[in-house]
Amino acid sequence: MTSHTMEAAATPAVRSPRDAPPRPGGGARLVRRRQRWGWLFVAPFAIVFVIFLVLPLGYAFGMSLFTSTLATGTEFTGVANYAKAFTDPLFLEGMLRVLAYAVVMIPAQLLVALVAALVLDTLATRVSKLSRLLIFVPYAIPVVIGALMWSFLYSPRFGPAATIFSLVGLDAPNFLAADSVFGSLVNIVTWQWAGYYMIVIYAALRSIDPSIYEAARIDGANGWQTSTRIKLPMISSSMVMVITFALIGTLQFFTEPVVLRSVAQGAIDAAYTPNMYAFSLAFSYSQFNYASAIAFSLGALVFAGSTVFLFLTRKQSGLK
């Protein structure tokens, strides 16, 4: 039983619209009328989308083509800001840093979410409902509040680490030092997002037809084999979606380091992530033009990164 046939069997509903019969001939007017209705229904969204996303994006892109310095005025410099961005060590270091975060943080979140979802899927007791809720709760806490909370937990003075480590006669590690802040941030994000991804994966698991498990049991598969050979392949499209979300979120890493920066200014500098760099440039150093260029460069890299990822996983996600 290969994963491919399983997938095909499990998702017939997705494929069927392609096989829909062609529209009856001479319905051009009908199509046009339908399209008119379509536009009407889309309009509320489209207007907001254009005013609050497309226009600001256009404005920011226009800004990024000019250079404005403190001492001299503003002048049109075309793509000079982009050339500068891709040779700017601060931007490139920030980019490498978020890539490092992606490599560590995404698997960490995914592992926690996957294990929790698989365990909860096999349990059917009241405890499992409660655990599901508890694992999801961190996601319901606003990011800023969550990060603030953790900054107090990490605090050498207010945090519990000092008390816990003193029980065994050790000095507590400083979670906010330059070499440990990476792990501290990974921990915050994993704590906050694993529950959300767990719910997505869990929902996918619940949509699998239980008769497949029955067949597997008859074929002699044990619990581990059912999980790894049947459940995992069948939810691969959800996994691809979760990883894509996580990838985009991680490359745009911003809120958590900004909050921790207020208690660890040395360890987290103003250009820690590309998004933070763009923010400081614009709002602390008044370089709005260069900040726009940085933001667009980041956007382009995120777009390229997620496109490559979706291309590589087109088989698993069913997008091919």
Residues that bind other proteins (CB under 8 A): 69-72, 142-144, 152, 155-158, 178, 189, 193, 245, 248-250, 252-256, 262-267, 269-270, 280, 283-286, 288
Q: Between residues 128 and 252, which has the closer beta carbon with respect to other proteins?
A: 252
Closest CA to 278 of 293, 300, 259, 299: 293
The secondary structure of 11-56, three-state, reads CHHHHHHHHCCCCCCCCHHHHHHHHHHHHHHHHHHHHHHHHHHHHH
- Structure tokens given for 294: 């940085």
Q: Between residues 207 and 265, which has the closer beta carbon with respect to other proteins?
A: 265
Q: Between residues 285 and 311, which has the closer beta carbon with respect to other proteins?
A: 285
Cβ atoms of 202 and 121 closer than 8 Å? yes
To other proteins, the closest distance from the beta carbon of 317 in angstroms equals: 19
The sign of the CA dihedral 225, 227, 229, 231 is positive
For residues 234 and 245, what is the distance between their CA atoms, to the nearest angstrom?
19
Extended beta strands in 135-258, E state: none
To other proteins, the closest distance from the beta carbon of 179 in angstroms equals: 9
To other proteins, the closest distance from the beta carbon of 176 in angstroms equals: 9
To other proteins, the closest distance from the beta carbon of 273 in angstroms equals: 11
To other proteins, the closest distance from the beta carbon of 102 in angstroms equals: 12
For residues 109 and 101, what is the distance between their CA atoms, to the nearest angstrom?
11
For residues 194 and 281, what is the distance between their CA atoms, to the nearest angstrom?
32
For residues 92 and 85, what is the distance between their CA atoms, to the nearest angstrom?
8
How many CA atoms does the CB half-sphere of 184 hold within 13 Å?
Answer: 29
For residues 295 and 85, what is the distance between their CA atoms, to the nearest angstrom?
10
For residues 83 and 89, what is the distance between their CA atoms, to the nearest angstrom?
12
For residues 104 and 121, what is the distance between their CA atoms, to the nearest angstrom?
26
To other proteins, the closest distance from the beta carbon of 197 in angstroms equals: 12
Q: Between residues 212 and 263, which has the closer beta carbon with respect to other proteins?
A: 263
Burial of 310 (0-12, 13-18, 19+ CB in 10 A): middle
Cβ atoms of 197 and 246 closer than 8 Å? yes
Cβ atoms of 281 and 287 closer than 8 Å? yes
